[in-house]
Amino acid sequence: MDGKEMTRAEQAFEAGKHVEQTYGGCGQCVLYSLIESGFDISKDVFRSASGLAAGVGRQGETCGAVTGAILAISALNGREFDAIGEMAARNKTFALCYRFIDRFKAEYGSIQCAGIQEKLYGRKYDMTNLADFQAFLADGGHDPQGCPTVVGTAAKLAAEVLEEDAANPQEEYAMFR
């Protein structure tokens, strides 16, 4: 990087891409990369993301990288267990999630795993079916420009949203757009 130190968002991108390509599990890989980039997210949250991969339980629904990013944003900004009635943290979390989702959709056109697969590979895959999963891999699913880049991008966008908010917090966050 021309001798320049990487930003946390750039670190999150690179870590997310690497860990997804090496180990898989997109939701956890986003959280791993954010934790490794210095965000104070509980490792219990990381563990909670175990079933999010390939569109939640390999179902092709909401992208695991998206749900991992939403978990990170929520873990750092959401309401506390003992303050369930407190709406300010809830509203802030929604506002930051809107920001993240808008940016992710601008990049991939969807937050659905199957929709992202269609954009990247020209088709969707049934990730619960061994033959389809093998076709996904053969078509580049875990090649650097495939899902590893999706994971890196989700981690980078989440980091940017979190850092932007930390640098310039609002007095009040709207629950609706």
pLDDT in tens, the chain (177 residues): 567 899 999 999 999 999 999 999 999 999 999 999 999 999 999 999 999 999 999 999 999 999 999 999 999 999 999 999 989 999 999 999 999 999 999 999 999 999 999 999 999 999 999 999 999 999 999 999 999 999 999 999 999 999 999 998 888 887 776
Rg of the chain over all Cα atoms, to the nearest angstrom: 16
What was the pLDDT predicted at 2?
Answer: 65
Burial of 89 (0-12, 13-18, 19+ CB in 10 A): middle
Domain edges within the chain: 8-167
- Judge contact between 90 and 175, C-beta under 8 A: yes
Of all helices (H) and strands (E), which one includes residue 9? Answer: helix 8-23
What was the pLDDT predicted at 172?
Answer: 82
Structure tokens at 138: 């053969």
Distance, in Å, from the CA atom of 125 to the CA atom of 148, rounded to the nearest integer, reads: 17
